[in-house]
C-alpha cells in the first residue's frame, strides 16, 4: 500500500466533495460526518486561520484513492492559557454530537500514517479525540495500540427501533407505560388535546428557539454560584467558536412538533437523517414549561417511535448526548462518548 496525504484548507471543502460523499456512507458514520453537515460548519462555524491555529481536511489516499478524511483543527501555538498546542476535530464545542474521521472502512495503517505525518508536519505531540463514540472500530484500535494519556466518559442514549409495537411495549418499564397513560388522562380530564406533526414544514423557528431558551435558562439558574463562576472563567480563556443552531442553519434539518387545541406550540424535537436514511440524530428539543405537566415532548416522541415501527424504515432513533430521564422512559439505552488524548511522539 502506498499512502499519501493531501491537506485541503477548510475553506476549500468543495474540492473534496466527491471523495467525501464516497466515504460518508460507511456503517460507522453518522449525520455529523456527512458532507452536508460540514458544509454548514464551513458557513457558520469554522473559524478563519490565525497565527495560533489552522483548520484543514486531511485526505489520506491509498494508491491514489481516498480512504479516509480527517477534519482537523490544529493549534500550532499555545494561546490564552487553556488552548494548548495539539490536534483536535473540527466540530468541537458545537452541535456535532459525534466527532470522527470520515471513512467507509476503517484502515488502521492509514491512521498510523496520518498521525505520524501530523507530528512531523505541524510539530504537535498530542491528538485529543472529543465526542468520540466508544462503539467504533477505530477506538478499539487506538486504545489497543496507542497510549491514552487521559480519558473521560460521557453518556449518550440510543434507541434501536424494534420490529413490532408489542416488542416496543415490552421495552418500556411499567412506570413508563403508566406515565404515558397518566399524561393522556390528564389531557382528557382537563379538556385539552395535542396534535402531532412528525415533519412540520410550517414551523415558526423563533417559537422553537424561545421554548428552548426558556428551558436552558431554568437549567442554568439551578447551577450553583461556584459552577456559574467556573464557566465564566473557562469561557474567558478558552477559544470560543461561533455559535450556530441546526434548526436554523442546517438545510436538511427536520422538526417534529406538538400543538395544543389552540395551535400553540407545546413541544418540538429537531432532528436529521444519516446519509443512509436509516437513523435519525436528535439535535435539540424543547417543551413549553407551562404545559409540562402533560408531558407533550414524551407523547410526541412516543408517537414518532410507534409510527417508525409501523413504517419499518428507520433502524435507529438516537437521542445523542446526555442522559435525561425521558430518553430512558422512551426505551433508550445508554451508550458512551469519550474524550481522550494520545501522544504522537
* Sheet of 53-62, strand order: 3-9, 53-62, 65-75, 86-89, 126-133, 333-343, 148-160, 316-321, 279-287, 265-273, 254-260, 194-197
Instruction: Say whether both 124 and 264 belong to one domain.
Output: no
The CATH number assigned to the domain holding 34 equals 3.40.630.30
Q: What is the pLDDT of residues 174-205, one digit of tens each?
A: 999 999 999 999 999 999 999 999 999 999 99
Instruction: Say whether both 93 and 169 belong to one domain.
Output: no
Q: Which domain holds residue 113?
A: 3-156+338-343
Given a contact cutoff of 8 angstroms between Cβ atoms, the answer to whether 266 and 299 are in contact is no
pLDDT tier at 104 (50, 70, 90 boundaries)? very high
Instruction: Say whether both 85 and 137 belong to one domain.
Output: yes
Instruction: Say whether both 141 and 168 belong to one domain.
Output: no
Instruction: Say whether both 145 and 64 belong to one domain.
Output: yes
Q: Are strands 279-287 and 265-273 parallel, antiparallel or unpaired?
A: antiparallel
Instruction: Say whether both 53 and 162 belong to one domain.
Output: no
3-state secondary structure 293-337: HHCHHHHHHHHHHHHHHHHCCCCEEEEEECCCHHHHHCCCEEEEE
Instruction: Say whether both 241 and 326 belong to one domain.
Output: yes
Instruction: Say whether both 219 and 76 belong to one domain.
Output: no
Instruction: Say whether both 187 and 144 belong to one domain.
Output: no
Instruction: Say whether both 121 and 178 belong to one domain.
Output: no
pLDDT tier at 214 (50, 70, 90 boundaries)? confident
Residue 107 has pLDDT above 80, yes or no: yes
pLDDT tier at 236 (50, 70, 90 boundaries)? confident
pLDDT tier at 49 (50, 70, 90 boundaries)? very high
Tell me what pLDDT residue 128 has: 98
Residue 152 has pLDDT above 90, yes or no: yes
Instruction: Say whether both 254 and 317 belong to one domain.
Output: yes
Instruction: Say whether both 87 and 212 belong to one domain.
Output: no
Give the global pTM: 0.95
In total, how many domains does the chain have?
A: 2
Amino acid at each position: 500500500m502506498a499512502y499519501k496525504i493531501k491537506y485541503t484548507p477548510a475553506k476549500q471543502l468543495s474540492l473534496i466533495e466527491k471523495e467525501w460523499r464516497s466515504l460518508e456512507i460507511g456503517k460507522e458514520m453518522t449525520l455529523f460526518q456527512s458532507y452536508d453537515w460540514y458544509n454548514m460548519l464551513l458557513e457558520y462555524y469554522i473559524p478563519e486561520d490565525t497565527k495560533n491555529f489552522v483548520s484543514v481536511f486531511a485526505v489520506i489516499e491509498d494508491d491514489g484513492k481516498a480512504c479516509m478524511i480527517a477534519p482537523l483543527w490544529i493549534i500550532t501555538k499555545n494561546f490564552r492559557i487553556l488552548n494548548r498546542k495539539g490536534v483536535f476535530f473540527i466540530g468541537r464545542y458545537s452541535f456535532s454530537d459525534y466527532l470522527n474521521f470520515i471513512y467507509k472502512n476503517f484502515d488502521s495503517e492509514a491512521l498510523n500514517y496520518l498521525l505520524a505525518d501530523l507530528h512531523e508536519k505541524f510539530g504537535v505531540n498530542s491528538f485529543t479525540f472529543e465526542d468520540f463514540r466508544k462503539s467504533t472500530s477505530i477506538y478499539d484500535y487506538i486504545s489497543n495500540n496507542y497510549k491514552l494519556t487521559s480519558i473521560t466518559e460521557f453518556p449518550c442514549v440510543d434507541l434501536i427501533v424494534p420490529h413490532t409495537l408489542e416488542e416496543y411495549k415490552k421495552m418500556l418499564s411499567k412506570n413508563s407505560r403508566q406515565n404515558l397513560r397518566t399524561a393522556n388522562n390528564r389531557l382528557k380530564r382537563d379538556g385539552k388535546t395535542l396534535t402531532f406533526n412528525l415533519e412540520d414544514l410550517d414551523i415558526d423557528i423563533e417559537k422553537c428557539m424561545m421554548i428552548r431558551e426558556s428551558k436552558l435558562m431554568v437549567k442554568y439558574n439551578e447551577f450553583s454560584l461556584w459552577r456559574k463562576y467556573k464557566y465564566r472563567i473557562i469561557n474567558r480563556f478558552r477559544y470560543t467558536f461561533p455559535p450556530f443552531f441546526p434548526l436554523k442553519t442546517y438545510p436538511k434539518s427536520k422538526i417534529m412538533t406538538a400543538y395544543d387545541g389552540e395551535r400553540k406550540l407545546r413541544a418540538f424535537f429537531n432532528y436529521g437523517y444519516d446519509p443512509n436514511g436509516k437513523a435519525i440524530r436528535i439535535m435539540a428539543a424543547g417543551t413549553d414549561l407551562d404545559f409540562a405537566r402533560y408531558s407533550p415532548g414524551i407523547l410526541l416522541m412516543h408517537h414518532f417511535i410507534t409510527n417508525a415501527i409501523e413504517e419499518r424504515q428507520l433502524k435507529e432513533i438516537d437521542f445523542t448526548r446526555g442522559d435525561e430521564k425521558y430518553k430512558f422512559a422512551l426505551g433508550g439505552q445508554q451508550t458512551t462518548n469519550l474524550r481522550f488524548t494520545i501522544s504522537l511522539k
